[in-house]
Structure 1
Amino acid sequence: MTVTQKPFDFSVPAKGELVSAAESPVNAPSGNRGRLTLAWMAEENSSVKKGDIIARFDGTEHELEKQRAELELTQNELSQTITSRELNQNQFAIAQQAGEVKQEKEMVEKFSVDDLTVYSKNEIIDQLLSKDYLTAQQLYLAWREVSQQTQGQAQLQLLTLEGKSYRDAISLNAQALNNLEVAAPADGIFVHAKNWRGEKVREGQTLWPGSKLGYIPSLTQLQAKLYVLETEAAGIEMGQRASIRLDAYADQPLGGEIVALANIAAPRDTRSPTKYFEVTVQLDTSDPSFMRPGQKLEGKILVANKEAALAVPNQAVFKDNDNSWVYVASGASFARREVKTGLRSLTQTEIIDGLRVGEKVALLEPTGEIK
């Protein structure tokens, strides 16, 4: 083919989807403890009104925990009643026994005589021993009363603390049962969230409190999120223009400007090592009548636009690790000539140095004589 100077547009292809620049998040209830099982969720892209229930979590575990705590509380209250009754009965029995000992001691003191002319020495000794025994018994009963009172109160305090823990458990699980539904924070379209693996949140999934379930995007502030292959991202900068076509509405082209560019490339799929740069394009217009977040699209980023450049088809340029060359027609054969390349599009490669207008290059590697 003959080398000519012509306009050269260098654009980078990309694929992606529509996203919203503003959104109202929808999260799992944050007041519950432990993990939650998603029992039901409104269909993706369904139209919702503010206050509509759009997700519901399973409350079976909370209901069982509440019933278990209620049973434990009933048993605890019964134990408190029994312990209190036993303490009162024991205190009454000790008080009654102490009264009897007091009366008996008073009788001994009243009729005690230490006159050897009246009683024998042995009888007097028996009276003194009886008095000492009754005194010791009084001291023992007083100690026993205080000891049982202390032990009984300690048991009641422990049972009271246990009862409080059961009441707290009942209250927490009751609150959790009243906090299993999620309402829409705004009018709009409900979009399901993705996890770090790119998987959508689904019914039956176990989530932590506060986890993101989805969002309700603004349909008037849409952006295109593009993914550019790491090997093709050279030259992409902020502010560059991009043309966008939705897969479902290819006949309605869109345009926009790059407003965000990832610093490093990353895989889109954990099962593939291929890396992409994430590019965000602010669209010139957003039409809610047919545009929705999540719609797949293709885009082209205009990296450079030159009014006059030497460019040849990509297949005419051959490369090794260090050099690039073309085969230039020389009489009846072709000569290998090294060239310096510039920008490269999907079909054309810019030649900065090494070729002149009017020269002819081979589109395929020549099979004949090469100079």
Structure 2
Amino acid sequence: MADGKLRAGLIGLGVMGRNHARVLAGLDGVDLVGVVDPMGDQHGAAHGAPVLSTVEELLAAGVDYAVVACPTGLHEEVGLKLAEAGVCALVEKPLADTVEGAERLVEAFASRGLVAGVGHIERYNPALQSLRTRLEAGELGEVFQVVTRRQGPFPHRIADVGVVKDLATHDIDLTSWVTGQSYVSVTAHTVSRSGRPHEDMVSAVGKLADGTMVNHLVNWLSPFKERTTVVTGDRGCFVADTLTADLTFYANGAQNTEWEALRAFRGVAEGDMIRYAIPKREPLLVEHERFRDAVEGKSSDIVTLAQGLRTVEVSAAVLESAGRGETVTFPKEK
């Protein structure tokens, strides 16, 4: 650390990597000292940092931590090199391509006492942060169900994984995080309709440790973009839109109606609707600030590798369930 600033590196200049480069280049207390991409800097996104061909060159330059934004299949190999060199790492989600790879990364960083995190960016979305705070405060009472919908057109940036590992991992992580509960079972169906080798649509039903029901609908086949999380409970329903970072609460009303037929039809009465005013900071910037603070030894809320591993396990179970046509259950977390 020179001049009191952390020396940071970046591995991968794809779509997400270019966003990481932008944030790192302007991050207080951090110098972006090198970017690794064998293809070079095709988009002029390195912000003046040297562009290197290998992780070894970056390590030789000397870094305190590195952001791993290369394709998912390379996360394990790159992460292990960083751990062996004693370098902290923020690894893009999903943590690894396989459960075994994720386990090896958890062990590699934990055994050396290194700070390491996973880039599950939805945790830093203002709407979901507000939702989690409100659920923890008991504003919804008992939680009955979490439903997520994440759909849109195919992103041409992705070639090495299907929709489960690329997109559903967001929903798996955010569901566990906002509820504070782990998955105990999952049943899923996938289809591949676009001629690519991986699945491009998944429908999954899960159960959390406290009995909460979970539904995930994820696809790359929709002409419009949707990123919605709906949490239904005793006192009403929260709807978080992570595209706009809006959070809305629909209360269960206490109003009875004298119209008997309508009352029978409506069931739960409609109550007030509240849309919350939330400060909207960029989630990626917040993620980087939290990770920087953790590397500096400050108390900071980051997504741990152990949490990232659990998400990889659940996503693997989604694919296993779809392949076998059976429900997959999980052992209780230790």
The answer, yes or no, to whether TM exceeds 0.5 is no
TM-score between the two structures when normalised by the length of structure 2: 0.23
TM-score between the two structures when normalised by the length of structure 1: 0.21
- Structure with bigger RCO (C-alpha 8 Å, 6+ apart): 1
